[in-house]
Structure 1
Amino acid sequence: MENNEDKSKELNSSSVDNIEKVSSQDTKVSSLDTDVSQDKNPPEDECKPSLSVSIKWSGGVYPISIYDGMTVIEFKEAVYSETKVRPDKQKIVNLKCKGKPATDEMQMSSLGLRNNMKLMMVGSVDEVLAEAVAVPEDMPEVINDLDISEENITCVQNRQDYIEKIEKRVREYKPKLLNPMRPGKKLLVLDIDYTLFDHRSVGQNGLELMRPYLHHFLVSAYEDYDLAIWSATSMKWIEEKMRLLGVTSNPNYNICFYVDSLAMIRIDAPNYGVVEVKPLGVIWGKYSHYTSKNTIMFDDLRRNFLMNPQNGLKIKAFRNAHENRDTDVELLKLAVYLKDIAVLQDLSKLRHSKWENYRKGGY
């Protein structure tokens, strides 16, 4: 391991030096972030939430940001990503225009909503989805991911019933392809919520909730890895978040493809109970040049890579953006780690949970 470490430090010293030169005063966004936001992002008014409302449903309260230009159907998609109640099943009280129910194509700004207004919703999760997320009575209770240690993860990737589920996704699921894949590049699969973006906090624009050094990190990683996004939300919401963060418009890197919640599978994991996970086997089955040897996934939830724990790196969750954006340097350090391991032939042999100690003295 030390030989690889020395070799990678020698090969990538210039990249590391560039990263380390970033001023601590720029932790909100890197200089590259600023350039992108000025030159390539949509105008700030497009990213700025015009107001924030809350949906009250089934005993819970779900904050939803409304952006300038958002239509009713886009608002319902945002509600769906939080509640899993499909738009056609939603009945939202007070979502009206001149006393009549608002139609999907109407602008949310025309409905007279007030900031911090609470809207009641009536609706149920589809029967099929309800069955998928229901925990059988004889199954153990699902444990919060934060309470699970690495030692308690049991690999379930060889169970035949799960293999069959993955094979079905390979046959039927279609990732959203954005840019060509590059021969010889490894693959980095990234989660969005709490990994790249604090989706629960409220900000004046998307950049305020973006994890510090995001664009700097993606530019650095793109030199050695194809980039993919896999989020446990709908494809429409992935596209919207990537637009707000300026990812899709950045000229210095490309995202190869998006994968949404429909590619996930449901498993019964020992010590976890019934959960939905992101099996990388779906990607490997669709694109055979990506394998367990050249793929790494970042996610703030360890359970999402239960089917391939040797390829998952549990990133520190980015929450409370306004409090933590001045001190969060996780992506800055991980950019260096990715450089260090890019020279290896087999990433699956690494223990990514100990990534901070890959170099002597840490990152």
Structure 2
Amino acid sequence: MTEPTPISPPTVVALPDVASSPSDPKKPRLTPPTTSTNLPVSSSDNAEASSSQSTEISPEQGGGGSVMTPVVVAEPLPDDEVEVTEEWWDLRMTWGGKVWEIRVGGNDMLYDFRAKLETLTAVPAASQKIIGLTKGKLSAELDSTRFGALGVKKGCKFTMIGTPEAQVFKDPSLVKLPEIFDDFDMQYPSHPTGKGGGILPADDPRNKRKVQEVIQSCPITVMNEPRPGKKLLVLDLDYTIVDTKPLLEGSLPAEECARPGLHEFLESVYEHYDIVVWSQTHWRWLESKLVELGMIGGTRNYRICFVSDRTTMFPIFSKRGGKIMKHEVKPLAYFWAKFPEWSQKNTIHIDDLARNFALNPGEGLKIRAFKSAGTLEGLQDRELLKLGPYVGLIRGWMTRLIS
């Protein structure tokens, strides 16, 4: 299989869209550069998906033990419930013999309201029984409903019944390591498509507020200071550079879980990029595994700037085949707010899941997942070997864009 040859018109300099991969036999689609600098969420232009589903899952196409998760194009949520001038509800909740004051925005989802209650009381959302807030039952199927559309009266008083999670007995034998939910993927166009338009995740006021909450509540612990003039490479961990399942289970040594060519790839890009690792794994697992992999504290010719775990991610809602879907996202604006020298003009986010790019589709580069560590097929994986030169080409495009 021949290497893809990116072809850019003389007046167009941009990143490939999320459908591109260094091992994809098709040439990457190119998009016009964006001039938007609005934070917290990038709405940069990106090529619209050309098909509704990807079926490129053959290892022969991917170079060894890599697979491409089937992808469908996400459908934007309807915008008729979005409040341009947002209203707020000040509520009073009775629980555990106490009265709690809660403030909710009209653009918040019912899911966000339940999450507020869980933060205050430690009662899991699935265990909350809410009485007196609305006439009907607030089932999980309504989680994507805007709070302003629920018909709740301003100043409403209601009661919640539920037991905090810490007080619920759990059989220790049933407690498992965290699992990464990745059996589907969704690709987001940069413009609403089809009838009815809708609102994209990057433009949703609720999602913008969530990004600001992450920025304000989650400090970044820098391990190696950003270097002047370097671009930003955000690298997913789970199934992108590591086969996560055997790594977390301990069924294989860490070095055997690493994708072939991992350290060579990181050394090759470090000359021009500061490297940030973003994982859906919680920090208590992430730090020790990165040390075991030799990515932190090793003697390699690269340094990790900092890492981010799933506490800096949050769920968004969209549609898939007409049904409401919920998944977490990685907002790059979290990094850009902390380090203004980085922006949509000099950032690449590499991941095996396009849905993680939902708020920043123009900065995402999807590659094939690595799920075959410890096998001959896994040893033959060549994705990272091809990714290094490919990222070098993108750096050239970004340099021309900035200049």
* Structure 2: segments with no counterpart, 5+ residues: 1-6, 11-62, 65-121, 129-137, 145-180, 193-199
Cα root mean square deviation, aligned: 3.4
Q: Structure 2 CA distance, aligned partners of 1:261 and 1:147?
A: 18
2:229 pairs with 1:229:
no
C-alpha distance in 1 between matches for 2:381 and 2:182: 23
Hey, what does 2:265 align to over in structure 1? 217
Name the residue aligned to 1:274.
326
Q: How far did 1:175 drift?
A: 2.1
| 1:313 has 2:365 as partner | yes
| Residues 3 and 131 of structure 1: CA distance in aligned 2, closer, same or farther (over 3 Å) | farther
Q: Which residue in 1 is equivalent to 2:123?
A: 127
Decide whether aligned partners of structure 1 residues 300 and 344 sit closer, same or farther in structure 2, where only a CA change above 3 A counts. Answer: same
Query: Taking structure 1 as the reference length, what is the TM-score of the superposition?
Result: 0.56
* Residue 215 (structure 2) pairs with residue 170 (structure 1): yes
Per the alignment, do residues 304 and 340 of structure 1 end up closer, same or farther by CA in structure 2, a change over 3 Å counting? same
User: What corresponds to 1:181 in structure 2?
Assistant: 226
Q: Which amino acid aligns with 2:295?
A: V
Match of 1:137 in 2: 141
Tell which structure's C-alpha radius of gyration is larger: 2
Q: Distance in 2 between matches of 1:181 and 1:227?
A: 9
> What residue in structure 1 maps to residue 119 of structure 2?
none
Moved more, 246-255 or 143-152: 143-152
Unpaired segments ≥5 residues, structure 1 = 5-26, 29-125, 350-363
Contact 2:189-2:361 at 8 Å conserved across structures: no
Contact 1:188 1:225 in 2 (8 A): yes
Structure 1 residue 251: deviation in Å? Answer: 3.5
Deviations 1:135-165 (A, max 9, x none): 931468xx97646456699641121111111
Verify the 8 A CA contact 1:292 1:348 in the aligned structure 2.
no
Say which SS state the counterpart of residue 174 (structure 1) adopts: coil
Higher RCO (C-alpha 8 Å, min separation 6): 2
Matched residue of 1:167: which SS?
Answer: helix
Q: Is the 8 A contact 1:299 1:315 kept in 2?
A: yes
Aligned partner (choices 290, 302, 308) of residue 259 of structure 1: 308
In the alignment, the residues of structure 2 paired with residue 325 and residue 159 of structure 1 have an alpha-carbon distance, to the nearest angstrom, of 40
Selected match of 2:350 from 298, 305, 309:
298
Give 1:286's aligned residue: 338
**Amino acid in structure 1 at the alignment position of 2:239:** Y
Going from structure 1 to structure 2, the CA distance change for 1:159 and 1:217 (only over 3 Å counts) comes to same
CA gap of 1:147–1:274, structure 2 versus 1, over 3 A, is: closer
Range with greater deviation from structure 2 (201-210 or 241-250)? 201-210
Aligned with 2:300: secondary structure? coil
What displacement does 1:212 show? 0.1
Offset at residue 178 of structure 1 (A): 0.5
Aligned length: 229
Aligned equivalents of 2:191, 2:367: Cα separation in 1: 16
1:342-353 alignment runs, 5 A limit: 342-345=395-398
